[in-house]
Amino acid sequence: MTVEIENLQIKPWTGRKVWDGRELGKSENWLFELQDSLIEELQQAVNRSLSSSKPLAQQSHKDFNLPRLGTRLFELRSEVLNGRGFTLIRGLAGTDWSDAELIRAYWIVGSYFGDPVSQNARADLLGHVTDLRLTDTSEVRLYQTSAAQPFHSDSCDIVGLLCLRPAKCGGESSIASSATIHNELLRERPEALKILYGEFQCDRFGEIPMGKEPHYPVRVFNSVAGDLVCCGMDPDIRLAPRLDGVDPLTESQLSALDAFQDMAQETALNMMLQRGDIQLVNNLTVVHAREAFEDYSELERRRHLVRLWLSSAEGRELPEFLTERWGNIAVGSVRGGILVPGATPEVNFEPG
């Protein structure tokens, strides 16, 4: 089936980026298990990181010699950027590493995939995904709560998650192929797909670069240089009409957003992350979600994941409208993240 949208012939996408979680879930060939020798290499790198005169924010893969693991990480990066769009690295749960050591190991692994960029108005390079139980909820993001997160994308090439502690119950991570969602909508809901190629507005949640509006334009599906770029910015799109100058969403737009969520849920790959697991996802070809969770009452046992937003020099071309969110979008440059004037990038090992 082919649909014409603004003189653009929309056809089904093909290749490894098209996958169905219901099939992938029958095996774990997408899982990379760290063997003891690779863990030893990583431990040595962590030790070098601790003894380095450089602050962690300035340390990259060039500072570490990982002869075997480094080669495998570059291969996994290629799979994330040009293949299925994700990987899960497992094997650190059996170590006796502290949270701080795991975070350093995670930073080192992440540096093989890209350069960390700011995730919020404080310019944090490490994002702590945990229920902060904040009382003022006016600008609280969903990742700071125990509520479910719908399928969405983040503002970077690759997003990483390190699991320090899972929840008492729930909190399952779900990912879905944007290309598969696109193809299923083309087959079953072509009118919804047309709408998702159209323009929406996104709420910046107060993270406003100098001279910019508190909202910015986005199109969920985009064809750029012959490839798919998905910007699944739900719920930021749904909340944007609270801002001055943003029109209410039409019933057709809401229905199209719902159809996207339904198709993502139907075709998702679900995984329960364990301590030490590192999940890396291509934000432009894969959307991610999280189910609600019940946590422990003890602070030291609560669910705690650590997030990285990574800019990849090998990332794909982006639609021009993303300059409103990402700033620089040139391929090969450090791009993406939250751009807020006066903020200095920081690495914080604890949530705050």
Q: Beta-carbon neighbour count of residue 145 at 10 Å? A: 17
Residues 288 and 152: beta-carbon distance below 8 Å: yes
Token readout for 99 is: 């949270």
Q: Give the Cα separation of 118 and 136 in Å (integer).
A: 23
pLDDT the model gives residue 32: 98
pLDDT the model gives residue 135: 44
List helix spans (H) across 129-206. Answer: 178-188, 190-196
Q: Phi, psi (5° rounding) for residue 57?
A: -60, -20
pLDDT the model gives residue 148: 85
DSSP one-letter string for 127-152: EEES----S--TT--GGGSSS-EEEE
Mean pLDDT by 10 residues, the chain (352 residues): 69 97 95 98 97 95 95 98 98 96 98 97 93 55 72 98 90 96 97 97 90 95 96 95 97 98 98 97 98 83 95 97 94 92 87 79
Q: Give the Cα separation of 19 and 30 in Å (integer).
A: 12
Q: Beta-carbon neighbour count of residue 331 at 10 Å? A: 13
pLDDT the model gives residue 281: 99
Residues in the chain: 352
pLDDT the model gives residue 4: 66
Domains in the chain (CATH in brackets) are 3-326 (3.60.130.10)
pLDDT the model gives residue 2: 65
Closest CA to 278 of 241, 316, 306, 299: 306
